């Protein structure tokens, strides 16, 4: 049994039940740890803050659901919908403001791959350190050591300090340790995008194996293809509320419809962005230079216009990622890729990316934006906007690939080989 009044934890079969779970955060309120004297000195200020009633954010509101042993449940929602907060509560990282949970069995969490890795320690030492932090005994780690190393593909570098690993190698090793936990309930938050494409396939295979072995899995991911492949049931969150619970295909379809209908927040007003702020992207628009239409044609010229403002803008590099509504990568545009980084920029202006022939097939795509200034991340916005591509005569034959055969059209030719 757990000591937390909101959590009942049984050593049993891997089911869980959540009832009326909620979480509130007060904006700007932070209670640091300290000595008794420091706490007493902060007491008058704390009373003043409470009398001013700081505004609250409801990260979760009245969430109720259950999961049976062996069930794989996907969790979807836009950024800030409460998905990660739910997993943190079930992992006992934070406590809810109301409600309770009943958990039957040991819980394993893959919430932040690499937590607990020490750069000065070798890969071998970090396997034992990270495994211990994740709840494995030393005997369990020894038993699974060879499988962890083989899965990560880092055999040659086991006795090399992790600080000399590439970011991909360190991520692969961290995921491998976490993936070899054997809990009854596994909580997974956005870790299926680690490493290169080959390793991502292995991650999906590992998740599939866990699902087939009878473990209860809660999976948060923006990769809708992975969610639909691994999950038979999906929970949909919106503004902290559970607004959908049902068949994976049906809930995903409703989620995509909602994304398409939702009025986007103007880029300049987006708060869910990362980076130093030395440069901020303020507007994003697509158009066709031939017709001025906002939905460029497949195979026709297209332009992307990005407004920005900033200061001391030197060595600026911009990357634009386009994804299908299922979260699959479709196209990458970058000033580095085209060999055109900006050595200097004025403090405010617009940047334009030219595509002579838009290769994307008809459909709707989401846009991620990433900007660095002198090697430092300045602005990073996911789901910054959308691009709608209309049907066009890419091949000059009036034909396009049927739906479901990729996202791009590629110029090619056939002939009889003699």
CATH class belonging to 280-389: mainly beta
**Could you give the CA distance from residue 405 to residue 416 in angstroms, rounded to a whole number?**
25
Which is more confident, 10 or 199?
A: 199
Average pLDDT over every residue of 228-248 = 91
Q: For residue 269, what are its two tokens?
A: 């007003």
Asked if pLDDT for residue 146 goes beyond 90, the answer is yes
CA 148 to chain centre: 24
Asked if pLDDT for residue 282 goes beyond 80, the answer is yes
Average pLDDT over every residue of 156-167 = 88
How do residues 71-93 score in pLDDT, each as one tens digit?
A: 899 999 887 889 989 999 998 88
Average pLDDT over every residue of 102-111 = 81
User: How far is the CA of 255 from the CAs of 222, 259, 354, in angstroms?
Assistant: 11, 6, 32
How do residues 205-217 score in pLDDT, each as one tens digit?
A: 777 787 778 888 8
DSSP string of 93-150, one letter each residue: SS--SEEEEEEES-EEEESSTTTT--TTSBHHHHHHHHHHHTT--HHHHHHHHHHHHH
Which is more confident, 213 or 333?
A: 333
Amino acid 194: pLDDT: 58
DSSP string of 39-62, one letter each residue: HHHHHHHHHHHHHT---EEEEEEE
Asked if pLDDT for residue 257 goes beyond 60, the answer is yes
Other CB atoms within a 10 A radius of the CB of residue 248 amount to 20
Q: Which residues belong to CATH 3.40.50.300 in the chain?
A: 7-260
What residues have CB less than 8 Å from 320, skipping those under 6 apart? 304, 332, 333, 334, 353, 367, 368, 369, 370
- What phi and psi values does residue 227 have, to the nearest 5 degrees? -60, -45
Percent of the chain with pLDDT over 70: 86
Asked if pLDDT for residue 307 goes beyond 90, the answer is yes
Average pLDDT over every residue of 242-255 = 89
Q: For residue 144, what are its two tokens?
A: 């699974």
Amino acid 26: pLDDT: 74
Q: Which residues belong to CATH 2.70.50.60 in the chain?
A: 280-389
Average pLDDT over every residue of 302-318 = 94
**Could you give the CA distance from residue 375 to residue 296 in angstroms, rounded to a whole number?**
33
Asked if pLDDT for residue 22 goes beyond 90, the answer is yes
**Could you give the CA distance from residue 311 to residue 178 in angstroms, rounded to a whole number?**
42
* Pair 98, 291: CB distance under 8 Å: no
Asked if pLDDT for residue 114 goes beyond 90, the answer is no
Does the domain at 7-260 match CATH 3.30.70.120? Answer given as: no
**Could you give the CA distance from residue 71 to residue 69 in angstroms, rounded to a whole number?**
6
Q: Where residue 228 falls among pLDDT bands split at 50, 70, 90?
A: confident
**Could you give the CA distance from residue 147 to residue 127 in angstroms, rounded to a whole number?**
12
Q: Where residue 152 falls among pLDDT bands split at 50, 70, 90?
A: confident
Which is more confident, 261 or 170?
A: 170
Which run of H or of E encompasses 346? none
* Pair 147, 173: CB distance under 8 Å: no
Percent of the chain with pLDDT over 90: 39
Amino acid 1: pLDDT: 60
Amino acid 295: pLDDT: 75
Which is more confident, 417 or 110?
A: 417
Give the range among 173-182, 305-314, 316-325, 328-337 with minimum mean pLDDT: 173-182
- What phi and psi values does residue 303 have, to the nearest 5 degrees? -130, 140
Q: For residue 235, what are its two tokens?
A: 């929970």
**Could you give the CA distance from residue 187 to residue 92 in angstroms, rounded to a whole number?**
12
Amino acid 393: pLDDT: 84
Asked if pLDDT for residue 297 goes beyond 60, the answer is yes
């Amino acid at each position: 049994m757990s000591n937390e009044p909101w959590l009942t934890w049984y050593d049993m079969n891997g089911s869980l039940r959540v009832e009326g779970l909620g979480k509130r955060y007060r904006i700007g309120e932070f209670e640091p740890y300290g000595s008794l004297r420091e706490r007493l000195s902060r007491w008058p200020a704390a009373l003043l803050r409470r009398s001013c009633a700081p505004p609250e954010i409801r990260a979760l509101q009245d969430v109720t659901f259950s999961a049976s042993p062996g069930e794989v449940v996907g969790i979807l929602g836009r950024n800030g919908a409460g998905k990660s907060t739910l997993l943190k509560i079930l992992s006992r990282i934070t406590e809810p403001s109301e409600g309770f949970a009943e958990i039957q069995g040991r819980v394993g969490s893959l919430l932040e791959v690499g937590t607990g890795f020490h750069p000065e320690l070798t890969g071998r030492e970090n396997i034992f350190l990270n495994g211990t932090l994740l709840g494995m005994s030393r005997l369990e780690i020894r038993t699974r050591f060879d499988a962890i190393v083989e899965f990560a593909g880092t055999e040659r570098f086991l006795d090399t300090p992790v600080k000399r690993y590439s970011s991909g190698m360190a991520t692969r090793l961290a995921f491998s340790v976490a993936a070899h936990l054997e809990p009854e309930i596994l909580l997974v938050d956005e870790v299926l995008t680690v490493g290169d494409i080959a390793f991502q396939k292995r991650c999906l295979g590992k998740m599939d194996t866990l699902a087939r072995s009878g473990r209860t899995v809660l999976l948060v991911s923006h990769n809708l293809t992975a969610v639909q492949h691994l999950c038979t049931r999906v929970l949909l969150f919106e503004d902290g509320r559970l607004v959908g619970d049902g068949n994976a295909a049906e809930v995903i379809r409703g989620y995509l419809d909602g994304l398409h209908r939702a009025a986007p927040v103007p880029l300049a007003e987006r708060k869910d962005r990362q980076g130093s702020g030395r440069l901020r992207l303020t507007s994003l628009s697509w158009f066709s230079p031939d017709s001025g239409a906002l939905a460029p044609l497949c195979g026709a010229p297209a332009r992307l216009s990005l407004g920005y403002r900033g200061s001391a803008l030197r060595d600026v590099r911009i990357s634009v990622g386009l994804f299908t509504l299922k979260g699959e990568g479709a196209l990458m545009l970058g000033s580095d890729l085209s060999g055109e980084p900006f050595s200097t920029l004025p403090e405010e202006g617009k940047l334009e990316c030219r595509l002579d022939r838009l290769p994307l097939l008809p459909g709707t795509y989401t846009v991620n934006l990433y900007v660095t200034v002198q090697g430092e991340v300045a602005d990073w916005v996911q789901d910054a906007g959308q691009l709608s591509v209309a049907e066009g005569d890419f091949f000059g034959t009036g034909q396009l690939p049927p739906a479901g055969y990729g996202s791009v059209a590629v110029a090619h030719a056939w002939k009889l080989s003699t």
